Each structure stands twice: as C-alpha cells, then as structure tokens.
Structure 1
Amino acid sequence: MGVRGSVEVQVDTAWPVVMDISLEDQPVDNATVCRMTYHFKQNGNYSWYINNKKSMDSFDCKLIATNSPPNAFIPIYVTIGIFAAMAIFCILYKKMCNSGSINRFLNYLGMERVVSSDLGTPSNPVAEADSNSIQRPSRDKPKRLKSLDAFRGFSLVIMIFVNYGSGKYRSIFGHSPWNGLTVADLVFPWFIWIMGVSITMSFYALVRHGVSRRVIFTKILRRFVILFGLGIILDGGIDFSTFRVPGVLQRIAFSYLVVATVHLFAVKHKDEEYRIRHVVYRELRDLLDYWYEWIIMISFLALHICLTFFLPVPGCPTGYLGPGGPLVGENESLVNCTGGAANYIDKVILTYNHTYPRGTPRKIYQTTVPHDPEGILGTLTSIFMTFLGLQAGKIFHLFSYPRDRILRFLGWCVVTGVIAGALCGFSKEDGIIPVNKNLWSVSFILATASMAFFLLAIFYYLIDVQIWWTGVPFYFVGMNSIAVYCGSEVLGKYFPFCWEPVFNTHAELLAMNVIGASLWVLISYYMYAIDFFVKI
C-alpha cells in the first residue's frame, strides 16, 4: 500500500483479530508500526487510520467505527425469550390444573351445565381409576432416576443443535479452534460421563438378579460391537480406502468396553455388615472397596501423559501441544506438528486416510495436517471420564439419602475442578496442560467432569428430590438417546431438519437449527408416548 493509499479487508467476526502494519523497507525487528487486537462486530464498517508523524519513527494509529452494526446476538435473546415464555406457560397451566382453577373458572361461566346437557354427566375420574386398577393390576417397576435421563437428554439436544450448525454462532456454540472451552466442547464428554453413571445402575441390577459375570461380559461385548458398528456406518463412508475409523460412537464404545469390563470384576454383591459399622468405611466405601479400579484407571491417565510429553515426534518438539501450522513458531518450524504425539499416533497406526480429513484449527491457524479429535490417544482420557461417571453411579447406589449424594457430587465437582484449574494454570494458554478438546487433555476431562457433577446435583435436586421439575422435555430424549442421535445424524441434511437458507443470516440459521433440534424432541416424545424404546 502506497502513501495516502487505502485497502479494503474483510475479517472474521467470530474471534478477535490481530492486525499488524509493517514497513517493507525496514528490518523485521523494527518493521511493525501498528499492532492491534480487536474483536469486530458483524456487518460493521471500520476505518483504520495510520498517520506518519513528523518523526519517521513515530506513527499514529486510530481505529474508528463508521457505522453502528446491529447486535448479532439478538436472535439468541429472542429464542431464549420464546422458550422461557413456553416454560412459564406450561408451569402455570399445570398449577392451574392441579389446583382446580380451570374447573372453577368453567363453573363460573356456567360451562359445566352446558357440557352436562350436551354430553351427559362426566364420570368420576377417581372411580374410573379405581375400577381400572381392579381390572388391570399394576406392575411394579424399579424406580428410575429421571434426573439422569433428563441430563442425558439435555446434553444430546445441545449436541444435535451444535451439529446442525448452531446458527453459525461459532464463538459460542462452535468448537474451540484449539485451547479453550465452548458450549460445543462440553456435550460429548458429558454424554460419556453419563454413560459411566448408567453402567453402575445396570450392573447392580444384573448382579442383584443373579446374572453370571460371563453373561454380563457377553452383554458388554455385544453392546461394544453394536456401538462401534453404528459409528462406522454413520462416519465411515463407502470408500474402504478412506473410511474414517475414529468417531463419536466408536469412542463411546471403547470407553464403555474398558470401564464396564474392569468394573465387572470389581462390583460387589453386597456390603459386609461388620465393615459398614466402621464410620470411616461407611463414609468412604465407594472408594475403599474399589481402590484397585482407581489404580487401573489412573494408569490410563499416566500412559496418556507419558505418550503426550515423552513420545518423540519426527520433525517436532517432544511434548508439543499446540495447533502447529505456518502461523505458529519461527520459520514455519511447526507447520506439520498439529496435535503433537496424538496426531502422530493416528498417522502411524491409522494413517491420514482413515482419520478426520479436516480439523478445527484449520481456519484460524491455516493448518494443512489433518487432526482427528476422536483419535486413539484421547481414548485413554475418555476412559477415565467414563470412570468418573461410574463413580457418580456408585454414589447413587451406595448412599441412600439425597443429602449424602448431593454433598458428594459437589465435593467431586470441587476436587476435579481444582485439579483441572491447577493443570491449566486457571488460564486458556498458560498452563502445564491446557484445556483442549481436540486432544482430550487431562485438564479438559477433569474440567468437564467437574461441570457434570455439578449439573447432575442440580438436576437430581430439582427432579428427583424436590420434584419441582419433571425433566420434560429432555427426559423424553434421554430415554431414547441412541435412536435420537442416530436419527439426527442420518436425517440431519434433509427437510424439515434443514433447508437451503434464503438470507443466510444468523436469525434464519438459528431458527432452522432450533427447529431441527426441537423436532427430535417431539419425535422422542412420540416414541415415549407409544412406548417405543431402542436399547442396546
């Protein structure tokens, strides 16, 4: 750009942009005259004036907004308002029905006489219920934790919304380009964590009914094969030379196989009475009875850390955790180092032909090396994430009082959160092990587990303890999670779950993605209403 010249540049508004103006005829160390980091707003017009002062070594840099861009987050606020209004209406309607306000209102209007004259006297619902109970004896069913299904459904609805595009609000709902944490990064580890909770519930039920370990292990293998096979079908493609091996369901399958198998040989039929009398054992029996499980699972974390920091990667620094690419490092020394050891292991074992062909750091860091966020090395930490969910399930099984359960959930929330914060230095970039979903770092799984413990405590208190909330609508989705997930993956590119945008604005895209996710909520409700459940 010459003197008194100008140039127009279009920049991404999802993330802050670092701008640098340099002189061509100056040494590299002294070439920069203006450097600024700024987060531009969507549809905004800005002018950046660079004026040379009297001294050639001094420049005046000023950024001015030439228009007032609209708030790009207004569609989100409107959507939240609509759902909040619907929730309030449902709550008020339910309260009115329970209190008899509607019947009193109809009586006030004289509607009851009209209904009686047209349709006859309505029968007594209590009497009908009694007669039905006599004709059809009820079958006792084991009590199911609604909070767990609601939490599973909550995670899955967010996952579907994110997978469908999330209105292209990438800075909030998109995956982090590398280090850091967004809403999109939370739901998959939560889903794996919830699976760990479910393992405990199902195992104790099987053991209580006298099912042998051999039969249970057969069930574990069967579920592993089905989950892994579904993952290959959904993610793999049809070309055997390039089909993707890692994936969401594949990661879930391996995590389930390892944790369930280890727990199968550790699960106890019943507590020994003389040990329960001991105060320390009574309070810590969820840990003391399963100490060897902890040794096995911590060894997975140790293996992950050793491979990450000590495995030599050709052409890259040992222990490198960064995104690589031409913009990182000096003289493009890290251009092929994306993901460090995690990427190298996938390259050697699977080759890039059978991994995710792109990666979240590509757009920001201009990387050319593929990186699979569901790669082999991250499976080790996802196994530990599943095990932390298993720990929550043990709390449900071994401690009967809600207060004991909630306090332990909150305790684990604090412990895992503090350790995660210590590992990442309570910062995004400056820590021994940054929070990174692409690598499934140790700090990442501990941070997301901390949130999972906290949210389950909240869901459990609201739904199963106080019964202030039934878990609707997420409860329906959680009851049919595998069917909803597979259906959303297969039909996500078809109408009415998506369509070709007309205006391609945040408002239109958000409406389309919210409708797509909401339709699966309605479908799950219909499956629940007709008593249709898909189980593996």
Structure 2
Amino acid sequence: MTASGNPAPRLRSLDALRGFDMLWIVGLAELVHALAKVLGYGWLFSLSFQLEHPPWEGLRAYDLIFPLFMFASGMSVPYALSPKLERGETRSKLLLGVWRRALLLVLLGIIYNGGLQLDFGKQRFASVLGQIGLAYGIAASIFLFTRTWKARAICCGLILAGIAALQLLFPVPGHGAGVLTPDGIVNAWLDRMLLPGRLHGVVFDPEGILCAISASALTLGGVIAGDFVKSWAEPSHTAASRLLLAGAAMLLGGWLCWKAGYPPIKSAWTTTFNLLAGGICTWIFVVFYLLVDFRPQSNWSFPLQVVGMNPLTIYMAEKVIPFPDISEFFFGGIARLSGIWGEVVIILGIILIEWILLWFLWKKRVFLRV
C-alpha cells in the first residue's frame, strides 16, 4: 500500500464509473430502500426490488455492482502496465508485481472477514477482495503474455467455455451433470472439497474457486476494453460505437444461453451471467466515457472521481469505522425531528461523512493501493 503524492494521469470516466459503483455499496442502495418506504412510489419500490439479489437464478441491477467493479479493475490494467512495458521493464518482473498485488488482496479479504480473530474453524477464506485479486491476477497475466486483443479475446472465450462445460457437463458426485442448484453445481462441490473454513452460502461460496476463475473472464473483458480505449489518443465516437456493438454481442450471447436453459447465476458466476454482466458493464462505461471524457472542460463527475480514486479505502473503512454511529452523533437530532424521514437523514449523513473523508484524503493525495 502506498501514499502517493503524484498519481499518474488517469481516465476520468473510469474513476467516475468506479466511484458511481462504490456509492451504491456504501449507501445509495440503502437510501433507495428508505425512500421507497417513506414515499411509497411504485417506481421507487421497483428500483428497491432491483437493489436486492435474487435468491439464486436471475439477474437484477444489484447483481451488477460487483461485476462492474471487476470490469473497471480490468480496464485499469493497460493504463498501469503498458507504460512500464514501454519503459523496458520485463514481463517477468511485472508478473511478480501483479501476483504480489493479487495475493495481498486475498490477505486483505481474509482480514476483512475477521481473520484477525484467529478463529480458523469459523474463518471464511473466500472473499470479495480475494476474488477481485485472483481475477485481476489471471487477467493481468494474460495481458502481459499476449500481444493482441484477438489473443486475449480467445483466452476470455476459453475461460467462459471451460466454465460452461464444467457447470453443464461435469458429473458432480451425488448429483450428476448440469444440476445448477446451490448444493449440486460443480462450484459448490469444489468449494466443499477444497476451501477450508466456512462457506458464505453454507454449501457453496459466491466468491469460491470457480467463481474467481470465471470472474477473470469479465475482468479480462475490461482489460480488452481498456486497451482499446487507450489506443485512441483522444476520446472517439468510433471507439464508443464499437464498444456498444461489443456489448450488444455479449448481451445477445447471454440471452441465447439463458433461452437455451443455462441461466445467469451470480453466486456461481455462470457463463451466461458473465456475458450479460459484461455487455451491460460495457454499455455503462460507454455512457460515462461520453459524458465525462468528451467534456474536458466540465468536471461534473468530480464527486464520483473522489470516491473512485480510493475504493479500497472506503471498502475497508466501512468495516472498521462506525459511520452509522458518527452520523447519529452529528445528525441524530435532525433525524429525530424529521419523523418518518429520520432513517433517510441518517443514511444521507453516512454518505456525506464517507465522502468528506475521501475528499480529505484526495486533497492530501493519499490513495490506499496495493
């Protein structure tokens, strides 16, 4: 982790996209739920419904938050590694750095899940940060040792095809092949066989072994998109339109898989889920690309960039800093006088306090990185 006073030039739309994504994690989803209860509007209830995970199969907006972050982490890879390659650093040296970062994220994920309690029998070793780290490691390694987008796309396709083949064709002991249930899918069998400690889903883990490998395809998709955008010296409508077409192709592929009986399951990162999430994430990025990078004189996205430049900070801080208690301390009186709006006031206070913390770190040029 470093505190850097001179961050490298960044793609503003990518920082804004990452900030937008993180805000849903740190408070916006809870704000929508609270507003739906207070106002009772039908469209708010519909949005609130979309901000909850389905029990197993299906796809809702809330399922896209984690994939969007992984897609964005993949997009940052060419911006981080290409300049080092151009300066003459060897691929083997960069590979060591990639896997140092990946394994440090795995370690931070274990700590986030209570690793410092040293209760290894109850410890959950799989984690959100661990999956990000492992998927990043796989995708960045492929980036380093392939030279063209076609080779990377082939690797991405092979990962997706391999995951689909395992989930649909591998005969899971006691269940058989193609059983896509929480206890019968091959992901769950492997997690029970190989993962120590407890599993988040008791019989499966949504950030388990096969999930991390499958998610690397989505991260690699972000790598390909990031390298493509980077190849254009200036923001380009042609680049945006081609990305939209690529997103449409992924959506079509995911829809066809779903229609064929292979559903999107986020907790198992099915290939169908990857294709649908990848297509939607690509389209969302294009929106930010057009709104942010095509308006260099406007900085409307600055509040999002502040969050997006320090995502690891706020993710870890949420675990150790009692933001709800701090919000209650400062805004509890206003909340009490606000009647049914009290919960909304407290949630807005949480988001404001978190943003001020990140803005302070941004002013000091302190960015938590691994």
- TM surpasses 0.5: yes
Larger radius of gyration: 1
Q: Which residue of 1 aligns with 2:41?
A: none
Shift of 1:246: 0.8
Question: Greater share of helix residues, 1 or 2?
Answer: 2
8 Å CA contact 2:127–2:207 kept in 1: the answer is: yes
Distance apart, 1:506 and its partner CA: 8.2
CA contact (8 A) 2:17 2:304 kept: yes
Shift of the alpha carbon at 1:423?
Answer: 1.3
C-alpha distance in structure 2 between counterparts of 1:223 and 1:142, whole Å: 18
Of 444, 466, 476, the match for 2:306: 476
Cα offset, 1:149, TM superposition: 0.3
Q: Structure 2: how far apart are the matches of 1:154 and 1:403?
A: 22
| 1:524 and 2:358 aligned | yes
SS of residue in 1 equivalent to 2:302: coil
CA contact (8 A) 2:172 2:184 kept: no
The one-letter amino acid paired with 1:483 is: T
| Mapping for residues 360-439 of structure 1, pairs under 5 Å | 369-401=202-234, 402-425=236-259, 431-439=260-268
Q: Could you tell me which amino acid in structure 2 is paired with residue 347 of structure 1? A: R
Matches within 5 A, 1:320-331: 320-323=179-182
- 3-state DSSP of counterpart to 2:276: helix
CA distance in 1 between partners of 2:190 and 2:8 (Å): 45
**Deviation for aligned residue 1:148:** 0.5
**Superposition pairs for residues 331-350 of structure 1, below 5 Å?**
338=183, 340-350=185-195
Residue 58 of structure 2 aligns with which residue? 180
| Deviation for aligned residue 1:311 | 2.1
State the percentage of identical aligned residues.
25
Judged with a 3 Å threshold, the aligned counterparts in structure 2 of structure 1 residues 493 and 348 are, in CA distance, closer, same or farther, namely farther
Q: In 1, are the aligned partners of 2:29 and 2:51 still within 8 Å (CA)?
A: no
Alignment-derived partner of residue 294 in structure 2: 465
TM-score, normalised by the number of residues in structure 2: 0.84
State yes or no: 1:160 paired with 2:26.
yes
Deviation at 1:381, TM superposition (A): 1.8
Alpha-carbon offset, residue 462 of structure 1: 1.3
Cα distance in 2 for residues equivalent to 1:513 and 1:450: 31
d(CA) in 1 for partners of 2:50 and 2:328?
A: 21
- Structure 1 residue 518: Cα displacement: 3.3
Give the match for residue 63 of structure 1: none
Structure 1: 5+ residue runs without aligned partners? 1-139, 268-288, 324-337, 360-368, 426-430
Q: Structure 1: which amino acid aligns with 2:326?
A: P
Task: Provide the residue aligned with 2:275 in structure 1.
Answer: 446
Are the aligned partners of 2:244 and 2:282 in contact in 1 as well (CA < 8 Å)? yes
1:399 Cα deviation from its structure 2 partner: 2.6
- Residues 1:265 and 1:175: Cα distance change in structure 2 (over 3 Å): same
Tell me, in whole angstroms, the C-alpha distance in 2 between the residues paired with 1:525 and 1:390. Answer: 28
Query: Structure 1's 293 and 316: CA in aligned 2 closer, same or farther, altered over 3 A?
Result: same
Q: Deviations over 1:207-236 (max 9, x none)?
A: 122222232122112211221111110014
Asked if 1:241 is matched to 2:115, the reply is no
Match for residue 153 of structure 2? 294
SS in 1 for 2:171: coil
1:495 corresponds, among 313, 321, 325, to 325
Partners of 1:498 and 1:442 in 2: how far apart?
43
Distance in 2 (alpha carbons) for counterparts of 1:199 and 1:178 = 31
Structure 1 residues 252 and 493 mapped into 2: Cα distance closer, same or farther (>3 Å)? same
Counterpart residue number, 1:255: 135
One-letter identity of the residue aligned with 1:184: Y
Which has a greater percent of strand?
1
Q: Give how far 1:185 is off.
A: 1.1
User: Is the alpha carbon distance of 1:495 and 1:222 closer, same or farther for their aligned partners in structure 2, counting shifts above 3 Å?
Assistant: same
| Deviation of the 1:293 alpha carbon | 2.7
Does the Cα contact within 8 Å between 1:236 and 1:245 map onto a contact in 2?
A: no
Show the counterpart of 1:145: 11
SS in 1 for 2:326: coil
8 Å CA contact 2:74, 2:221 repeated in 1 = yes
Rounded Cα–Cα distance in structure 2 between residues aligned with 1:257 and 1:441: 20
State how 1:38-187 maps to structure 2 within 5 Å.
143-161=9-27, 167=33, 171-187=49-65
Equivalent pairs counted in the alignment come to 345
1:174-323 superposed matches below 5 A? 174-237=52-115, 238=117, 239-267=119-147, 289-323=148-182
Task: Report the Cα offset of residue 163 of structure 1.
Answer: 8.0
1 or 2 for the larger relative contact order (CA 8 Å, sep ≥6)? 2
1:166 and 1:509 in contact (8 A); partners too: no
Partner of residue 534, structure 1: 368
Query: What's the offset of the Cα at 1:464?
Result: 1.2
- Cα deviation code 1:173-219 (max 9, x no counterpart): 22221122223211100000001100011111111222222321221
TM-score by length of 1: 0.59
1:436 CA displacement: 1.7
1:171 is aligned with what amino acid? Answer: F
Could you say which residue in structure 1 is the equivalent of 2:39? none
**1:230/1:469 CA distance change after superposition, 3 Å:** same
Q: Which structure 2 residue ranges, 5 or more long, are not aligned?
A: 1-5, 37-47
Is contact 2:323-2:353 (8 Å) kept?
no
Query: Matches of 2:90 and 2:322 in 1, distance apart?
Result: 41
SS in 2 for 1:473: helix
Shift of 1:389: 0.2
Contact kept? 1:162, 1:184, Cα under 8 Å? no
With over 3 angstroms needed to count, the CA separation of the structure-2 counterparts of 1:436 and 1:206, relative to structure 1, is same
CA distance in 1, matches of 2:269, 2:295: 35
- 3-state SS, counterpart of residue 496 of structure 1: helix
Contact 1:313 1:344 in 2 (8 A): yes
| Gap change, CA 1:526 and 1:222, over 3 Å in 2 | same
